Amino acid sequence: MENVSRYELLRNKFRCECPYLQKCCCCIPLRMGLLFCGYLKLVSAVVLIGTAFMPLAWMVVMLKMENGFDVVTLLIVILSISVLVTDLVFSIVFIVSAHKKSRKAMQAYYYYMIGLLVALTILFVLFIILFMVSLNHWYDNDLIISTSVVYILDTSLHCYLIILVRSGVYKFENDFNFRYIRNIDVDPVCVMES
């Protein structure tokens, strides 16, 4: 009998299997669905970067008018733009890895998505705490509710994409290509490559 530690017994007892999907949205093949999601994320990152530059342009106009601007707002805008540019770069890595069936690049994107989910959750909790502390306006409740709904929808789609990417990593890791070799002199042979 093997010498199994208490930690390994607990880890195996509470292990939860993550589903592996064969299709995206129940009808599209996994690789095509990953490519579609990648291009959709790329377009949304470009649009969001464009909209994030609007407050930055407004601050430049305010600076030229010598009215000044809020430093905290400038830091938030710069942080948002840097996160969006990072997302744009990782979206490109994701698209290239899906086209080339690169397991390592897709795995890097998978870890990035998990880190982004954790960061977004922390930011959302901080956002809610900030608005709970400063409940002095009548519109705060509507803003909290709409932000919560958007966050829940975004997190749901983000988790689904994480499961899709994990399924893609698993598929690229265990994918075998079959190739038929036919020489004129010899009978056809089926060769399995990994």
Give the angle 118-124-126 at the CA atoms, nearest 5°.
105
pLDDT at 177 over 60: no
According to the model, what pLDDT value does residue 90 have? 92
Measure the CA–CA gap between 77 and 52, rounded to whole angstroms: 7
In this structure, of 44-58, 150-164, 174-188, the range with the lowest mean pLDDT score is 174-188
Show me where the domains of the chain are located.
Answer: 18-193
DSSP-H helix ranges across 65-137: 71-100, 103-133
> If we measure between CA atoms, which residue out of 169, 35, 194 comes closest to residue 104?
169
According to the model, what pLDDT value does residue 48 have? 80
Query: Quick check: 57 and 64 in contact, CB under 8 A?
Result: no
Measure the CA–CA gap between 21 and 34, rounded to whole angstroms: 11
pTM attached to this predicted model? 0.67
Enumerate long-range contacts of 11-16, CB under 8 Å, 24 or more apart: none
The b/e string for 18-35 (b: 16+ C-beta within 10 A; e otherwise) is eeebeebeeeeebbebbb
Beta bridge partners of 191: 179
Q: 1 pLDDT band (50/70/90 cuts)?
A: very low
Question: Which of residues 8 and 45 earns the better pLDDT score?
Answer: 45
Per-residue model confidence as pLDDT tens digits over 43-56: 888 888 877 777 66
